[in-house]
Amino acid sequence: MLLITCPYCGPRAESEFSCGGEAHIARPLDTDALTDAQWGDYLFMRKNPKGVHREQWNHAAGCRRWFNAERHTVSYVFSRFYKAGENPDPANANGALP
Amino acid sequence: MSPYRIATSGARIDRSRPLSFRYNGRSYTGFQGDTLASALLAAGERVLSRSWKYHRPRGIVTSGIEEPSALVQVETGSHLIPNAKMPEVELYEGMHAEGVNPWPNALNRLLSINRNFTPLFPAGFYYKTFMWPAKAWMFYERLIRKAGGLGASPAVEDADRYVHQNVHCDVLIAGGGIAGLAAALAAGRSGARVIISELQGTLGGSAHRLSGQIDGLSASEWVAEAQAALAAMPEVRIIRRGVVFGYHDHNFLTIREALTDHLPLAQRQGFRERLWRVRANQVILATGAHERPLVFGNNDLPGVMLSSAMADYVQLYGVLVAKRIVLLTSNDTAYADALILQRAGAQVTVVDVRADQKIASGYAKTARDAGVEVLRGYVPLQADGSAVVRSITVQQQKGDWASGDKRTLAADAVGMSGGWNPAIHLFSHAGGKARWNDALVCFVRGAPVPNQHSVGACNATLTLAGTLAEASLAGATAATRAGFAASEASYRVVEPDSEAVAAFWIAETGEKVSRRAKAFVDYQNDVGAADIELAIREGFESIEHIKRYTAMGFGTDQGKLGNINGMALAARAMKKPIDQVGTTTFRPNYVPISFGLFAGLERGELFDPVRKTSPHAQHVQAGAPFEDVGQWKRPWYFPRPGEDMHAAVNREVLAVRKGVGIMDASTLGKIDIQGPDAAKLLNWLYTNPWLKLEVGKARYGLMLDENGMVFDDGVTVRLAEQRFLMTTTTGGAARVLGWMERWVQTEWPDMQVYMTTVTDQWSTFAVAGPQSRAVVEKLCKDVDLSAAAFPFMSYREGTVADVKTRIMRISFSGELCFEINVPSNAGAHVWGALMAAGQEFGITPYGTEAMHVLRGEKGYIIVGQDTDGSITPHDLGMGGMVSKTKDFLGRRSLSRSHTAGGNRKQLVGLLTDDPRIVLPEGGQLTALAQIARPSVAAPVPMIGHVTSSYWSPTLNRSIAMAVVRDGQQKMGQKIYAALSDGRHVAATIASAVFYDPQGQHHHD
């Protein structure tokens, strides 16, 4: 049972949350400009790293807010929690890990 | 008194409180403080069960939770505890216990045949023999399970109750032995919140077997002092009979605290067990170690036990199992055990596989000086005896080979000490990896997970001095990391020097293991050394495969006793080092846990919340059976006396079509959406346009996921310029709200829009049918209900039965309908008022079944029934609802090649040729009138399936909705439903709108 720190409520048990998968995937603005393959990438293609992963979490049984977390997929250690819309490393424009 | 009870020891028993109990129908006595195992050993019982495959006699092997053989059913009926291990069953007055596979029993003659033909039952025997023909396995399995194995599961509901408790602490210590206590003292003195959980009823672990001294006290005296000191610390909680059975992520641990199992049935009150759910800042593992048995011929004879268990029975229960004892060992602890047994009055010989004859110091010298006979450099070959052990044959080791002097020693009990396996189970649960250590001859923990410490025997530290030092340091470190000022204590320890343990797995005599007397590795599953060799000969190399093929470690002791011996023997057979054979991963739970503990109070009525609508009591009174929709209870139909469901539904449907009906639709999801961007949000969510919807108007919408598939639908009303009321399907309400929140919070944070669920706040009643206006008019004087003033798909606010009401002219039945929405507090009142007002018109309450038929006659879809996550609006024939001028969620997917291409399943209606046949929902559809002989090679080509199917009383015939490949191009064509009885029922593909295709009625 992970211990997850909601940026709004503080540390809570995993059972209060639902995971939304990879974070920092922006919905394309002009979907008509995309090929089927590009749209398919947006829809389906996700990172599956062995290592640090940035993902969305929802405090579903709490404040219902969505936020982001950076988690190591092997050790399950969370290295940070941050609000949706925040960019954890400004050097990287879209917030996604390389 | 029993000749096996001795007067001088027995720390746990109270000789002034004798207990009587029954075992296998016979009466016995024991003492308060006994376990079932110690009481039966004191009574002289040695043969307590027979093994499951070979039906060999078996006795008590251990004094703890790793017991493989002495299994018992405690009590019966609703208090039955199946497959309890005798050493963990605390005795109480009046206990009734039945052995699992007791000896002797009715199976004796029938199955002892297995003993005489043991070569016929090698590893994998069941796989090889009974797996063909496959069907017969069901038959064999029943017989095999009955013949051998485990006790029966309870047949009736558990009478006991269980409770959960959540708790946070600074330091959780698993294990209340010397290591755990020393850690608790160091952490507790700092004021940290400490929980120390000990699986036994008393603290101290192995202290009673230790011969050293701590600060001038014996280990047991020190334990008593430590216990008193901890009891005086207000922030320290000691949980006795509490086993930490799971260690999960981020220091979340689960403890089973047994509360009543040690009490007579009549004295039990409250909960049987408590599940502690602990989130600990720091965890200290002080779980000790399990002694390894030794592998030699007939090592399963009753009377062959762990050396430490023999000492435990003396020290804790005052039970000496025999007068002539031989202890076989590869390490030091057996010498301390020998001293205990000798002091209790036994004649003890220690046979040590370690050859060094110079016993100038250490445990061996202490024992020899005290008169214990010590034989060094001898290895065990074989025990003998008929039903119990009578002798043990040992042979001198010459180099790597057992080839020297061979001796047979008379013994009424044989103790085994093959070294100690650190109990790294919890460490492993937490994700830690075990490593083999050649010097210590055991698996030890690898790198710890964060905020975790291992101390004492579970950390492979076996000396008293080492244990106290590292435990005290860990306790202080843990408390410090949790934010307290802590420091470790130092202890003056006197103990004998220790000698290194030797690696000994089986005597190397040159003779094949399979030719020797059976030497067991896993007693409970009857896995012998030869079985492991056989598995390897048959090509299994991974230890995980070997375990599964032989069933080693799959018993109720979960391999705690025998798995390491098994791995070592596998390594020996493969001529590989042990660390290359593999490691072992322990998973929760550490001991078997009852389902009741996990369920806790969430059982029966409390298993899941029940949601009831405001007029629920009126529905109950009307005699309606209820349908569960999610957590909601919805009236299914309202039978009149003598009516079956079919008759009631037909009557309800016709009442709506010809007169007036009323349905409780309060369970529909309702979401209040407010803000300047509310319309913009709806425009993204729904396929049709929303920006220009007028205030007071309602609109139906389809919601798609980004893959273009329909996932919810419903009507939304514009209450005000910046306020909408959305309705969703009953089951989809939470999902839709979550969907909206997600988009707004993550993708469009600039949108000024807020939404909240108001499902519970509003009761909704659909008054439907040609007479509905007349009914509502009687109760509503402030709204002009005429079709001209209040047209279809619009909304008014007014007063119904003196209650402020939102009225919507929407229809899910295809008839004129007023949907009355009132605050839920007034729901029961308004339902009663509508029923009373409608009486003169014959108002008929109708349930979900009639609702389904009514909407089926109209071809209205139900998302989740007529759609399944692979259906687009176009597939539903609702392409007209898809805007071509705006983007919305899922839109781009509608033009993907697969979604936009042909050969998709499309929604159509079906009319069976024989109007009396109602097709089964889910029935498969084919273009073929009949299949001569379908086969696996040539399966029937299916082109669709029935999604909804009803008897329509309005049309007096059956109707169905179905999804059919390219169905919209197949109107008028024949299709066949393949029924499970082999018939193919012919039907014609038609429009799904069977009734009033022009929509005259609901516009009215």
Q: Per-residue pLDDT tens for B824-850?
A: 999 999 999 999 999 999 999 999 999
Say which of B250, B742, B747 has its CB closest to residue A3.
Answer: B250
Burial of residue B919 (number of CB atoms within 10 Å: 0-12, 13-18, 19+): buried
Angle B848-858/B645-658 helices, nearest 10 degrees? 60
Identify the CATH number of the domain defined by range B294-416: 3.50.50.60
B120 pLDDT more than 70: no
Say which of A1, A2, A66 has its CB closest to residue B745.
Answer: A66
- Chain A residues with CB under 8 Å of a chain B CB are 1-3, 13-14, 20, 26-27, 31-32, 34, 36, 39-40, 43, 56, 58, 60, 64-66, 75-77, 84-85
Angle B178-188/B464-481 helices, nearest 10 degrees? 30
Whether the CA torsion B535, B540, B543, B547 is positive or negative: it is negative
Inter-chain CB proximity A43 and B893 less than 8 Å: yes
Residue B325 CA to residue B342 CA, distance in Å, equals: 9
B857 pLDDT more than 50: yes
Q: Per-residue pLDDT tens for B758-782?
A: 999 999 999 999 999 999 999 999 9
Q: Which residues of A touch B249 (CB under 8 A)?
A: 1-3, 14, 76
Inter-chain CB proximity A3 and B897 less than 8 Å: no
pLDDT number for residue B107: 42
A98 pLDDT more than 70: no
Of B120-134, B160-174, B188-202, B637-651, where does mean pLDDT reach its minimum? B120-134
Retrieve residue B103's tokens.
């000896």
B197 pLDDT more than 60: yes
Q: Which residues of A touch B747 (CB under 8 A)?
A: 26-27
Q: How many CB pairs under 8 A join A and B?
A: 56
Burial of residue B705 (number of CB atoms within 10 Å: 0-12, 13-18, 19+): middle
B666 pLDDT more than 90: yes
Alpha-carbon torsion angle B263, B266, B271, B272, nearest 10: 50
Residue B777 CA to residue B772 CA, distance in Å, equals: 8
CATH topology of domain B899-996: Elongation Factor Tu (Ef-tu); domain 3 (2.40.30)
- What number is the average pLDDT over the span B592-619? 95
Query: Which CATH superfamily includes the segment(s) B669-757?
Result: Aminomethyltransferase beta-barrel domains (3.30.70.1400)
Q: Where are the domains of chain A?
A: 1-25+50-89
CATH topology of domain B511-574: Arc Repressor Mutant, subunit A (1.10.10)
Say which of A43, A60, A84 has its CB closest to residue B706.
Answer: A43
pLDDT number for residue B149: 65
pLDDT category at B54 given cuts 50, 70, 90 is confident
Percentage above 70 pLDDT, chain A: 94
The pTM for the full model equals: 0.90
Q: Which residues of B touch A79 (CB under 8 A)?
A: none
Percentage above 70 pLDDT, chain B: 94
Inter-chain CB proximity B431 and A75 less than 8 Å: yes
Please give, rounded to a whole number of angstroms, the shortest distance from the CA of A32 to a CA of chain B: 7
Please give, rounded to a whole number of angstroms, the shortest distance from the CA of B201 to a CA of chain A: 28
Please give, rounded to a whole number of angstroms, the shortest distance from the CA of A34 to a CA of chain B: 9
Inter-chain CB proximity B738 and A58 less than 8 Å: yes
Mean residue pLDDT of chain B comes to: 93
Q: Which residues of A touch B248 (CB under 8 A)?
A: 1
pLDDT category at B113 given cuts 50, 70, 90 is very low
Q: Per-residue pLDDT tens for B432-449?
A: 999 999 999 999 999 988
Phi, psi of B249, rounded to the nearest 5 degrees: -60, 150
Q: Where are the domains of chain B?
A: 1-155, 162-289+422-494, 294-416, 511-574, 616-666+761-846, 669-757, 899-996
Tell me the C-alpha to C-alpha distance, in Å, between residue B183 and each of B479, B676, B773: 10, 61, 78
Say which of A1, A39, A65 has its CB closest to residue B896.
Answer: A39
B105 pLDDT more than 60: no
Return the closest-CA partner of residue B171 out of B251, B245, B63: B251
* Cis before B676 (ω within 30): no
pLDDT number for residue B449: 86
- Is domain A1-25+50-89 in CATH 3.30.930.10, yes or no? no
Whether the CA torsion B240, B241, B242, B244 is positive or negative: it is positive
Q: CA-nearest residue of chain B to A56?
A: B746
pLDDT number for residue A89: 81
CATH class, domain B1-155, is alpha beta
Q: Per-residue pLDDT tens for B7-47?
A: 889 999 999 999 999 999 999 999 999 999 999 999 999 99
B951 pLDDT more than 60: yes
B539 pLDDT more than 80: yes
Asked if B657 contacts B708 with a C-beta cutoff of 8 angstroms, the reply is no
Q: CA-nearest residue of chain A to B707?
A: A43
Retrieve residue B78's tokens.
């609703």
pLDDT number for residue A83: 95
pLDDT number for residue B823: 98
- Chain B residues with CB under 8 Å of a chain A CB are 248-252, 279, 431, 449-450, 706-707, 738, 741-742, 745-747, 749, 887, 891-893, 896-897
- Residue whose entry in the numeric block shows the structure tokens 């709506």: B656
Angle B529-537/B563-574 helices, nearest 10 degrees? 40
Residue B429 CA to residue B409 CA, distance in Å, equals: 43
Say which of A60, A76, A84 has its CB closest to residue B746.
Answer: A84
Q: Per-residue pLDDT tens for A10-50?
A: 999 999 999 999 999 999 999 999 999 999 999 999 999 99
Say which of A31, A58, A77 has its CB closest to residue B891.
Answer: A31
Please give, rounded to a whole number of angstroms, the shortest distance from the CA of B748 to a CA of chain A: 10
Higher pLDDT, B274 or B901: B274
Residue B85 CA to residue B555 CA, distance in Å, equals: 12
Identify the CATH number of the domain defined by range B162-289+422-494: 3.50.50.60
- What number is the average pLDDT over the span B669-697? 97
Q: CA-nearest residue of chain A to B248?
A: A1
CATH class, domain B616-666+761-846, is alpha beta
Taken as a whole, chain B contains a residue count of 1004
- What number is the average pLDDT over the span B929-955? 85
Asked if B975 contacts B949 with a C-beta cutoff of 8 angstroms, the reply is no
Cross-strand pairs, B409: B392
Q: Per-residue pLDDT tens for B722-755?
A: 999 999 998 889 999 999 999 999 999 999 999 9
Q: Which residues of B touch A27 (CB under 8 A)?
A: 747
Return the closest-CA partner of residue B693 out of B666, B667, B716, B663: B716
Interface test with A, best of B250, B883, B896 (most A CBs within 10 A): B250
Retrieve residue B91's tokens.
């005795």
Interface test with B, best of A19, A66, A68 (most B CBs within 10 A): A66
Inter-chain CB proximity B252 and A64 less than 8 Å: no
Q: CA-nearest residue of chain B to A5?
A: B250
Residue B85 CA to residue B79 CA, distance in Å, equals: 16
Say which of B250, B707, B741 has its CB closest to residue A43.
Answer: B707
pLDDT number for residue A87: 84
